[in-house]
Chain A
Amino acid sequence: MLKFIGSLLLLAVLLAARGLYGQPLTIEKTIDGMPQNARGMLATSLDSDERLDFNGDLVPERVFTVQDPAAGDYLRIVDGTDPSRDWIVRLEGDPDRPMIIGVHTLVGFYNIDGIVTKQNPKEMVFAKRVPAQNRYYSYRLEDVLISSYSAVGPSPRQPLGIIAILIGLFETDRDGKTEVMLVNPDTRQTEIWGAP
């Protein structure tokens, strides 16, 4: 019975929420071939300050990864304007990726769904950093996850593929939403994902 009530509550939360909830990203464009200039580079139109700005006030927040061996690591985002305010972000794990935060790195906060308000701040982009076999600060970001913020529990996430390599985050079609450029090494194609 409790499980049933819990399921109803979760459903209510999902229906009431906006943005990415129940709105998976889709491939908007596919390009034949793989990027040649992408290692160690993240193509993005946002400054460092903008990428660390969660609530859209143009002030970067302080972001911490908090170790919690029992329930899983989580993210604590301290408001850059008001340090007494913070957001706690937990990502639900799965058997393949039990500790998402901690293993993945926060790439930044981006407006994926086109809505930035106090109730619906920017989306969080996570990826796993893998050293590349090259010299000089070379690495790649793969296993890409995008999550929205939820104050009531683990944030739903949009997995974009364990092996997908993150290349860029910018707006390509002037729809007010940031698109995600990924490489699919299996198909040797470059894909642009976005919220419909």
Chain B
Amino acid sequence: MRITAIACAVLFLLPYAGGMAQPRIEVLRWLDKSSPLLAFTMRAQPGLSDFDRDDIPDIVILSSAGVFTCTGVNGQLWEFDAGAAGLVDPQFLGFLRLTATSGPATHAAFIEQEALYLVMLNNKHPENTKFEFANTQRPHALGLRQRASGVDVAIVAANDRIAVIGAVAGVRGTVSPMKKQARPTITAYTLTEKFIAEAEEGLGYDPDLYPLAGEMDFDSDGIDDLGILISDTNGIPVGIAVHDGNSLDERWRWEIPAQYLERVMMGMHGFADVDGDGKKELYCGDNLVVFQDGTVREIRDNFRTRHLMDVDRDGLPDVIGRDLATGRLIALGTTTATAVENIPSAEAMHLLPAHPHPMISGSVISFSLDRPLSVRLAIHDMHGRRVRTLTDGIRDAGVHRFDFDGTDATGVPLPSGGYSIILTSATAQQRHGIIIIR
């Protein structure tokens, strides 16, 4: 265990070693879409604020002295004097991991005037890589975290182009294949009422604070994909292109029918397989659903979509919106019977009990996957708090074993008591209990 701890510490500190070479960073790809607008991307992008990659966003504070300080749950993580590094008026964008390590981020991204700066996170000798975008207002960067390969890229929209910037050696991530679409095609879009709220009841929380897991994940590989708005030469939107969040290859393109344009532009709610046919639909605008074959339908007469969430926890997301005829909040989804027939098999993942159990000094926690799947294995305390994440990301088919030493994310031993082991995928969750005895 001690050797493991030392190895982890070395891996964590490795990116900060003074001798670490700057990876060669280039514009890997230009995406010409005639519009710098993004139809959607990851919303709050907590990954870009996660310096130490403990799955908890960290806070970057700019002091009155012009020093950027990154603070996390473990205290101060990083300090950077932008002025000393030659940046005059930088706008912080996020942290990126541009080399394939299991450690924390390797670079910080700043926008200054017409340039993107990628600052290597080496306190002794910070090196800047500068990318200029002439004749533009401040380019806005929308980073994308490539979790499958462990390498991030910076996506910068400037003028009429979108640049994908990253380390040359790190661009070759795993390309997610499109899923086979052998499932039955829905011919009638009939959704069942899951619940109808009372007339005076509204949504009690802000849906933007509760995004549906994977709602921007078009191909269900656990990585949010990138939606780019395509405009014509007059700047009028004409379509949406979806690029895979991992390979950045275009996976789906939809030309917006003119009669729906105004309604589509009212907003994107995301992709979800509400009807349970195995293929996600795009929910957008006031009341529209777009199928992958390009078919557009209204979700329901006199309905206004609010957001997507699995309200009955049957493994399939539901559409929550307001019935304009009655004024009532309503949730629509497919029936359980249909859902069971069509959702990806829950048997795709199997969480095994920890052993030895009860745990005194350590236990092994295992799960198996029937196919590659994006999963998270975590330990929760009796209050529901996630105290330790053992793995999070795409894992290959097969058995995966993890040594759990009874410590939390910071390495502090957890107190005696009952805990939950929870294995979560985009559509399912399995759990076992574990007792720690000190």
Residues of A within 8 A of B (CB): 31-38, 40-48, 50-53, 56-59, 62-68, 75-77, 80, 105-108, 111, 116, 129, 135-137, 139, 167-168, 170-172, 174, 176, 181, 188, 190
Q: Does B55 contact A (CB under 8 A)?
A: yes
* Cα separation A60 to B67 with both chains bound (whole Å): 40
Contact with A along B46-63 (1 / 0, CB 8 A): 101100000111111111
- Tell me the minimal C-beta distance from B56 to chain A in angstroms: 5
Contacts A36-B91, A43-B49 hold; do A174 and B412 have CB atoms under 8 A apart?
yes
A128 to B209, CA, bound (A): 12
| Given A33-B63, A43-B56; 6 other pairs, CB 8 A cutoff | A37-B92, A41-B57, A44-B57, A64-B197, A64-B329, A190-B71
Does A137 contact B44, Cβ atoms closer than 8 Å? yes
Given A36-B92, A63-B204, A105-B205, CB of A135 within 8 Å of CB of B61 = no
Q: Which chain B residue has the least Cβ–Cβ distance from A172?
A: B73
Residues of B within 8 A of A (CB): 38, 41, 43-46, 48-49, 55-64, 67-69, 71, 73, 91-94, 140, 142, 195, 197-198, 200-206, 208-213, 311, 313, 329, 380, 382-386, 408, 410, 412, 420, 422
Contacts A41-B45, A43-B58; A64 near B201 (Cβ below 8 A) = yes
Query: Measured between alpha carbons, how far is A62 from B384 in the docked complex, in Å?
Result: 17
Bound-state Cα–Cα, A66 to B382, Å: 31
Name the contact of B313 in the complex, choosing from A42, A46, A59, A188 (C-beta under 8 A): A59
Residues of B within 8 A of A38 (CB): 59
Task: Name the residue of chain B whose CB is nearest to the CB of A190.
Answer: B61
> Of B69, B71, B94, which is in contact with the most chain A CB atoms at under 10 Å from its CB?
B71
| A106 contact from B41, B43, B64, B206, Cβ within 8 A | B206
Total cross-chain contacts (CB, 8 A): 155
Q: Which residues of A contact B57 (CB under 8 A)?
A: 37, 41-44, 168
**Beta-carbon contact of A108 and B420 below 8 Å:** no
Could you say which of A32, A47, A108, A188 contacts B205, with CB atoms under 8 Å apart? A108
Closest A residue, CB atoms, query B386: A45
Complex Cα spacing A47 to B209, Å = 11
Q: List 16 A-B contacts (CB under 8 A).
A: A33-B62, A33-B69, A37-B92, A37-B93, A37-B94, A38-B59, A41-B46, A45-B55, A62-B311, A64-B198, A66-B200, A75-B204, A111-B385, A135-B140, A136-B140, A137-B208
Q: Return chain A residues, CB-CB under 8 Å to B200.
A: 66-68
**Cα–Cα, bound, A22→B227 (Å):** 49
**Pick the contact of A41 from B38, B44, B384 — CB < 8 Å?**
B44
Whether B59 pairs with A139 at a CB distance below 8 angstroms is no
* Beta-carbon contact of A45 and B385 below 8 Å: yes
Are B204 and A77 closer than 8 Å at their CB atoms?
yes
**Chain A residues near B420 (CB, 8 Å)?**
58
In this complex, what residue of B is CB-closest to A43?
Answer: B57
Q: Evaluate contact between B61 and A33: CB separation under 8 angstroms.
A: yes
Residues of A within 8 A of B49 (CB): 37, 41, 43
Q: Which single member of A105, A116, A170 contacts B73 (CB below 8 Å)? A: A170
Which chain A residues border B67 with CB–CB below 8 Å? 33
For B212, the chain A residues whose CB sits under 8 A away are: 48
Find out whether the CB atom of A129 lies under 8 angstroms from the CB atom of B206: yes
Across the interface, A36 reaches (CB within 8 A) one of B68, B198, B385, namely B68
Question: Across the two chains, which residue of chain B brings its CB closest to A171?
Answer: B73
Q: Which of B45, B59, B198 contacts A167 (CB 8 A)?
A: B59
In the complex the two chains form, is A190's CB within 8 Å of B55's CB?
A: no
List residues of chain B with CB within 8 A of the CB of A32: 61, 63-64
For A43, give its contact among B46, B142, B213, B386 (CB under 8 Å).
Answer: B46
Q: Is the CB of B384 within 8 A of A50?
A: yes
Measured in the bound complex, the distance between the Cα atoms of B23 and A141 in whole Å is: 38
Residues on the A chain within 8 Å of B408, using CB = 174
Determine the distance from Cα of A65 to Cα of B204 in the docked complex, in whole angstroms.
Answer: 4
Q: Pick the contact of A108: B140, B209, B412 (CB < 8 A).
A: B209
**Residues on the B chain within 8 Å of A116, using CB:** 382-384
Query: A24–B205 Cα gap in the complex (Å)?
Result: 25
Residues of A within 8 A of B206 (CB): 105-107, 129
Which B residues are CB-close (under 8 A) to A137? 43-44, 208
- Complex-state Cα separation, A76 to B142, whole angstroms: 37
Please name all residues of chain B whose beta carbon is closer than 8 Å to the beta carbon of A77 when the two chains form the complex: 204
| Across-interface contacts of B201 in A (CB, < 8 A) | 64-67, 76
Take A106-B206, A170-B56 as given contacts and tell me if A35 and B64 are in contact as well, using a CB distance cutoff of 8 Å: no
- Inter-chain contact B60/A136, CB cutoff 8 Å: no
**How many angstroms from the CA of A178 to the CA of B411 in the assembled complex?**
19
Is the CB–CB distance between B62 and A36 below 8 Å?
Answer: yes
- Residues of A near B58 (CB, < 8 A) are 43
Q: Is the CB of B204 within 8 A of A50?
A: no
Taking a contact as CB atoms closer than 8 A, the residue among B45, B205, B385 that contacts A52 in the complex is B205
Counting chain B CB atoms within 10 Å of each CB, the highest count among A31, A33, A116, A171 belongs to A33
